[in-house]
Amino acid sequence: MGARGPDHDCAVCAEVVGVIANNELLSRVLEHEGFEARPYPDPLSGAEPYTFGHGLTWITERESINIVQNRLLNLADSLRDIYPWADDLDAEVCGVLIEMAFQMGLAGLGKFKLFLSALRIGDYEEAARQMLDSKWAVQTPSRAEYLADIVRSYH
């Protein structure tokens, strides 16, 4: 794995990597994540753990964007390995998977078994319903609704 760019061996994955490289998915993730130059308390607990990572005490916004972009590309590769059927998804729906994995990790995304099953068989309405019937949707309702709308639009 790890191949990126026009020579990527999956057309849909290559399209998603192109979307990341063209900043569409990157822009959406950055908008949902926000940016703080200094460590700040976890938004859910209001305390530790601080959501700024890597043991740094400061970072430039450009450095942060580069990190996010690299993580999105790595997640695209990982998701392709874990869910080979995702190669058949529309690039925007694949982007939703990548963004969800970015927010909650691959293990967290893996807990969305009914969502993933619905996506696998192309039941986008059910997949969107499963996204919204989750603790994740309660914790980040605007993001969950926005991403569910993207999935729902491919019925």
Whether residue 5 lies inside any domain: the answer is: no
4 is a domain residue: no
pTM reported for the whole predicted model? 0.73
CATH code: domain of residue 18: 1.10.530.40
Token pair for 14: 């290559």
Q: pLDDT tens digit string along 30-62?
A: 788 777 777 777 777 777 766 664 445 567 888
Q: For residue 19, give the H/E element and its range.
A: helix 11-21
Work out the angle between the directed axes of helices 141-152 and 91-110 (0-180°, nearest 10): 130
CB 119 within 8 A of CB 102: no
In a domain, 3, yes or no: no
Work out how many domains the chain is built from and give that number: 1
What is d(CA 53, CA 49) in angstroms, rounded to the nearest whole number?
9
Domain hosting residue 62, numbered range? 11-152
Residue 86 placed within a domain: yes
**Residue 1 belongs to a domain:** no
In a domain, 50, yes or no: yes
pLDDT digits (tens, 9 = 90+) for 79-90: 999 999 998 999
Is residue 109 included in any domain, yes or no?
yes
Q: Which residues of the chain have pLDDT under 70?
A: 1-22, 49-58
Is 85 inside any structural domain? yes
